[in-house]
A and B are shown apart, each in its own frame.
Chain A
């Protein structure tokens, strides 16, 4: 029977071990999740120094990834999440996003007036825009003649481009390319139109090298791909490595994407979360971000201070706020999201 107590001890050891890991210990008081390389490498450190917080940064690869985590945990353990606007809307609709207390974010006044009026969240009630821009075509101007002009140059590419193009993998942007090409809304809910787009995208699939959300600009640099579906800021990463890479918004237009900062309702340290957002919106900090991540930021004070050489090297950094507002924002489409998910599955499964 002594052997029994042996296993009981093992059990106790297990429980003790679990208890040790469950203890918060030296846990950070503010956890921020952002895309890799989407803010200054030392931003968290300087924030901690400036405010005496103990914030930490975690990374997510895609909106979906962080959404999955938040849904699974109810947002517990996370304070600020960087997500694109339609996902911010979903978080609000699920009651997972906290109301933004503007009085604790005085630097909000640095934003363009347009950035306070964004359709998905007029008045920035539950999300604060961090970066914005267009989605278009990023290509090797030395390898493609003539330069692409239309979404159809990607969707129905020239024979010479077969196997040399990539498209974004995320549901909404993949469909947006097809919708824009046909002149439809990027938030289309008419199933017949969506199916028309699906058929086009299935045809396009045969010509693609891959679906790629994260390394498309590297494929351009290496020459694996010559024309890719890209967010403007991420195309700039490629331009920085090879000046033959160029970006255009196709003739049919783009969506206006907005990446936002959302404070989670489950956060136990909302004041620090607002302080963090305020820190990011500081003109110098936000300018530093724009210069280093090469994405446009909706911060007038920061953008006005950008050196002209930067805009010369990366022309899309010069797009004006009001020109971008001509484009439609991706919105949460509610119930239709199921059709979107299904259609994307149909595209991805097509042989």
Chain B
């Protein structure tokens, strides 16, 4: 079967080369740039330094990183809880409805991100639709400022990534063997105990995949904070954008990107490990 192996490699070669040249090399370049120094007028001075990473962990930028992680974390938590519940509800719906429900849950994800974000500007601005409705139903006094708040940024992130979480959670929930739950119930397990000990561990892999996706895309996002945050919230994505397009500090922007890549890789590994362990625990529990 050597021929087959050769053929497999030949089939893979063009795509692997493409990714090698236009994904791996550029990312390696980012890593390399992060160890050089910024020139006075931007540009890169080829002098080795660790100062970009030192700068990244000084309280200001570390604070921005942590705050981005916090905002991304809140958005992830909300998206995963709602998305998981929605996926569960879809999986519990009559069989013939499931495909349609899932299709329409996922559809918004395939439409333009900017426009989906823009819709929230129209809804939330103080002369917009939601404040108008609030006044109309007799909200006492001036409605609170909704747009350009942290809540608006988080809403935008949840809105944009929720469909993906629903999709990621749906498949494992659907594959869940209903007999396991029934057995647990027959043995006297409460609904909550059954959910926590059987259902949740067995379906956690989908939720974890969804969570990693939402977190990574949220922490690197710069459009949502820019459009819905009114520039009042600085996230790592904005910082990277700023280094490349206005501060002209490519090395520092590269160091921040390298950190984002590292966070992404760590989460991917953690997710794979968690999914492995979760399915292991569930298996032993259902046997025991």
Q: Do chains A and B touch in the complex (CB under 8 A)?
A: yes
Tell me whether A171 and B246 are in contact (CB under 8 A). yes
In the complex, what distance in Å separates the CA atom of A146 from the CA atom of B41? Answer: 44
The residue of chain A having its C-beta at the shortest distance from the C-beta of B64 within the complex is: A349
Shortest CB distance A10–B (Å) = 6
Tell me whether B232 and A68 are in contact (CB under 8 A). no
How many chain B residues sit at the interface, stated as a range, is 35 or more
Given A10-B14, A71-B42; A348-B244 close (CB under 8 Å)? no
- Any A CB within 8 A of the CB of B245: yes
Tell me whether B246 and A68 are in contact (CB under 8 A). yes
Tell me whether B60 and A7 are in contact (CB under 8 A). no
Tell me whether B41 and A90 are in contact (CB under 8 A). yes
- Any A CB within 8 A of the CB of B197: no
In the complex, what distance in Å separates the CA atom of A64 from the CA atom of B63? Answer: 24
Shortest CB distance A69–B (Å) = 8
A-B contact number at CB 8 A: 89
Contact partner of B60 among A62, A209, A345, CB < 8 A? Answer: A345
A342 cross-chain contacts in B, Cβ below 8 A: 60
Contact partner of B231 among A68, A210, A335, CB < 8 A? Answer: A210
**Helix, strand, loop or mixed for chain B's interface?**
loop
Q: Which of A165-182 contact B (CB under 8 A)?
A: 166, 169, 171
Tell me whether B232 and A93 are in contact (CB under 8 A). no
In the complex, what distance in Å separates the CA atom of A16 from the CA atom of B13? Answer: 18
A11 cross-chain contacts in B, Cβ below 8 A: 14
- Any A CB within 8 A of the CB of B239: yes
Q: Which of B112-127 contact A (CB under 8 A)?
A: 125-127
Tell me whether B245 and A64 are in contact (CB under 8 A). yes
- Any A CB within 8 A of the CB of B155: no
Contact partner of A209 among B145, B233, B247, CB < 8 A? Answer: B145
The residue of chain A having its C-beta at the shortest distance from the C-beta of B243 within the complex is: A341
Contact partner of B41 among A94, A211, A346, CB < 8 A? Answer: A94
Tell me whether A351 and B231 are in contact (CB under 8 A). no
Shortest CB distance B162–A (Å) = 25
Q: Which of B201-259 contact A (CB under 8 A)?
A: 230-234, 238-239, 242, 244-249
Given A209-B148, A224-B126; A94-B230 close (CB under 8 Å)? no
Shortest CB distance A213–B (Å) = 9
How does the 8 Å CB contact mask read for B57-82 relative to A, with 1 for contact and 0 for none? Answer: 00011011001000000000000000
B135 cross-chain contacts in A, Cβ below 8 A: none
How does the 8 Å CB contact mask read for A12-39 relative to B, with 1 for contact and 0 for none? Answer: 0010000000000000000000000000
B233 cross-chain contacts in A, Cβ below 8 A: 348
How does the 8 Å CB contact mask read for B39-51 relative to A, with 1 for contact and 0 for none? Answer: 0111100000000
The residue of chain B having its C-beta at the shortest distance from the C-beta of A93 within the complex is: B41
In the complex, what distance in Å separates the CA atom of A76 from the CA atom of B190? Answer: 69
The residue of chain A having its C-beta at the shortest distance from the C-beta of B63 within the complex is: A349
Shortest CB distance A266–B (Å) = 15
B245 cross-chain contacts in A, Cβ below 8 A: 64-65, 67-68
Tell me whether A335 and B40 are in contact (CB under 8 A). yes
Known: A67-B245, A209-B145, A348-B232. 11 other contacts (CB 8 A): A3-B7, A11-B14, A62-B246, A71-B42, A94-B41, A210-B230, A223-B127, A334-B40, A342-B60, A345-B239, A345-B242
* 5 A-B pairs with the lowest CB-CB distances in the bound complex, closest first: A210-B230, A64-B246, A211-B231, A68-B245, A349-B234
A-B residue pairs in contact (CB < 8 Å), sample of 7: A1-B7, A4-B11, A68-B245, A68-B248, A211-B232, A338-B247, A345-B61
